Amino acid sequence: MLGDTAVAVNPEDERYADLIGKMLKLPLTDREIPVIADSYVDKEFGTGCVKITPAHDPNDFEVGKRHNLPELCIMNDDATISAKGKYFGMDRYEARKAMVEDLKEMGLLVKVVPHAHNVGTHDRCGATVEPMVKPQWFVKMDEMAKPAIEALKNGQLKFVPESYGKTYLHWLEGIRDWCISRQIWWGHRIPAYYCEECGEMVVAKACPEKCPKCGHTHFKQDEDTLDTWFSSALWPFSTLGWPKNTAELEYFYPTDVLVTGYDIIFFWVIRMVFSGIEQTGECPFHTVLIHGLVRDSQGRKMSKSLGNGIDPLEVIDKYGADALRMTLLTGNSPGNDMRFYWERVEASRNFANKVWNASRFIMMNIEKAQAANVQLSDLTMADKWILSKMNSLAKEVTENMDKYELGIAVQKVYDFIWEEFCDWYIEMVKPRLWNDEDTTKAAALWTLKTVLINSLKLLHPFMPFISEEIFCNLQDEEESIMISKWPEFKEEWNFAADEHAVETIKEAVRAIRNVRTSMNVPPSKKAKVFVVSENEEVRGIFENSKVFFATLGYASEVLVQADKAGISEDAVSAVVAQASIYMPFAELVDIEKEIERLQKEAEKLEKELARVNGMLANEKFVSKAPQAKIDEEKAKQAKYAQMMEQVKERLAQLTK
């Protein structure tokens, strides 16, 4: 109340229309204050009258500016009353109690009621923060903002995703003068000096030797520090030796891409742009890549109050820096938030282990037999397939990264290394590596090493530590993967026909595995595999792939033919493009043991069906049991009946 300088009402509030412009006696003081009209006031809230204290409330400050109200600061920095009078020197809470008592004695206190409202508090000690008007330093933004706006509009600056450019413009086009001074201990000091004799203020890089007004030589520097974001805004050029024209500044400024979160576009990005243009004449970067926030598994922002923060050092200690880095990149697109799951970090760690184990396997075999003097003509169909797949991968990943689609790029690298390279190609070449008489062994080793090196280079931006470690142990030609040449698409490594051929083999292998799985045939059980196709080209593909096709398809022997001659009637089959796969049933399953197993399964199902049918036929159970329990038993009944039907059908086939 001691700092009130007006009472405001809404201009459309007819109750107070005749009071606007009149003066009111302010209790506890000898002052009179005006009644003013301002749309800031909600006429439906309370009495519709709001006292205005410009020096101690941000909203009241704005109202005061619109109506030219005086700003009376009535509090010292230690929260004691500075206003002259009865309450001078009292603590704010003591003064509050005394004022309530005085209003009561004067008959001006209507009532005291509890009132909940938002009060700013210090995040460490919990003390209530009092807004106060104080002299501050400002940067006038009208002219500073214009070149920053123009930089985006003329294409000198772009955002990824592009939509965040609207956020950038929204802030700049509505920008206000920037308060750059802070009353904190740490930071750049405001470069302003005050003459201790006459009070003259001098702004300079260093303390002046004498006062330009009175000649006095004793100065006191302003105690305020610069806003943290003011200092941060200077980062792109001040770190390079600016204002001197250093070699570093010449080489590194302006830079290319700034990567940052959407929550500091105004605080940091905008201020770097207009500061860079103002001080150097150039925009500090041409692209701003915006990423989202890392949230907890429930989608909440991590905070100290919720206690849901994740310490990255703990994650690194448990799973490794590469696993954490890859997790933050996988499945993420620019500008989108992501949820943190420990399971995803574990999956990334498992991938790192996969890469490590595959690399160790390759290096062990290279040590035994070096791959040298290999020509492309020496490569087998499988070698050309994986080389061609890796060649296409390099092109696609480069395109994705040029578009800042890092999540897509890393997923492609992940899929290629885990599935194509490890699960397929390495398994394809194992028979060649273990056969010392195989003439294609050198080609296999060369392909393994070449594909692994290029895969590590593509993986390096996402998993830098493991890729560097393996790379340096795998070869001696280059000092570090960080300065090695990035993989590029080579036309001579483009083997489309071989890719098609191996994909045909893979399709056949998947078909065989699906059949075996449906029959519960273990991988250790080998069986003869017949490949039947009228197409000569398809037969040629399988003939040239017999060695690794047999390994991948758990075949004791592979026979490729144009018709079904010699294939037993009980053979199980699978169909792929332009070919059929047959496997003799008797070689897959021990019929007597399978019949015995199915009969036991049938007995077990009969008991379960008898139990569930009995429960559902019991009227007491149906009338008294919860509906959820009844539905559960009905679901079991349907499941057991279906399983029994399948078992009987299988038994019928085996006992023909």
Go through the domains of the chain in sequence order and give each one's CATH number. Answer: 6-105 (3.90.740.10), 138-189+224-291 (no CATH), 350-494 (1.10.730.10), 521-587 (no CATH), 591-654 (1.10.287)
Element (H, E) at 471: helix 464-474
Omega of the bond prior to 208 within 30 degrees of 0, cis? no
| Distance between start and end Cα atoms, the chain | 101
SS3 category, 636: helix
CB 531 within 8 A of CB 571: no
Residue 578 gets the label, from left (phi > 0), alpha (psi -120 to 50) or beta, of left
Burial pattern 493-532, b for ≥16 Cβ within 10 A else e, equals: bebeebbebbebbbbbbebbbebbeeeebeeeeebbbbbb
CB 193 within 8 A of CB 201: yes
In the chain (656 residues long), the average pLDDT of successive 10-residue segments reads 96 94 94 96 92 95 96 93 92 95 94 88 88 93 95 95 94 94 91 94 94 93 95 95 95 95 94 96 96 89 86 94 93 85 94 96 82 81 95 96 93 96 93 84 92 97 96 91 95 93 90 85 87 89 88 89 84 82 81 78 90 90 89 89 82 72
Nearest to 561 by CA among 576, 547, 582, 575: 582
| Type of residue numbered 126 | G
Sequence-separated (6 or more) residues with CB below 8 Å from residue 79: 91, 92, 130
Tell me what pLDDT residue 370 has. 62
CB 497 within 8 A of CB 540: no
User: What pTM does this model have?
Assistant: 0.76
Sequence-separated (6 or more) residues with CB below 8 Å from residue 185: 225
CB 9 within 8 A of CB 43: yes
Tell me what pLDDT residue 52 has. 97
Q: Which residues is 194 bridged to in the sheet?
A: 201, 220
DSSP symbol at 431: H
| Type of residue numbered 588 | L
Q: Pull the structure tokens for residue 154.
A: 């003329």
Number of helices (H), then strands (E), in the chain: 23, 20
Rg (CA), the chain: 39
| pLDDT tens by residue, 125-163 | 889 999 999 899 999 999 999 999 999 999 999 999 999
Pairing relationship of beta strands 287-291 and 257-261 according to DSSP bridges: parallel
Tell me what pLDDT residue 372 has. 61
Tell me what pLDDT residue 521 has. 85
Nearest to 234 by CA among 277, 195, 200, 199: 277
Sequence-separated (6 or more) residues with CB below 8 Å from residue 239: none
Tell me what pLDDT residue 371 has. 53
The span from the CA of 544 to the CA of 382, in Å, is: 10
Q: What are phi and psi of 310, to 5 degrees?
A: -115, 125
Angle formed at CA 439 by CA 436 and CA 441, multiple of 5 degrees: 65
Helices 627-654 and 591-617: crossing angle in degrees, nearest 10, is 150
Tell me what pLDDT residue 656 has. 65
Strand arrangement of the beta sheet that strand 23-25 belongs to: 23-25, 32-37, 6-9, 49-52
- Quickly count: other Cβ atoms within 10 Å of residue 251's Cβ: 8
Tell me what pLDDT residue 164 has. 94
SS3 category, 135: coil
Omega of the bond prior to 254 within 30 degrees of 0, cis? yes
Q: Pull the structure tokens for residue 444.
A: 């296999």
Nearest to 457 by CA among 416, 420, 498: 416
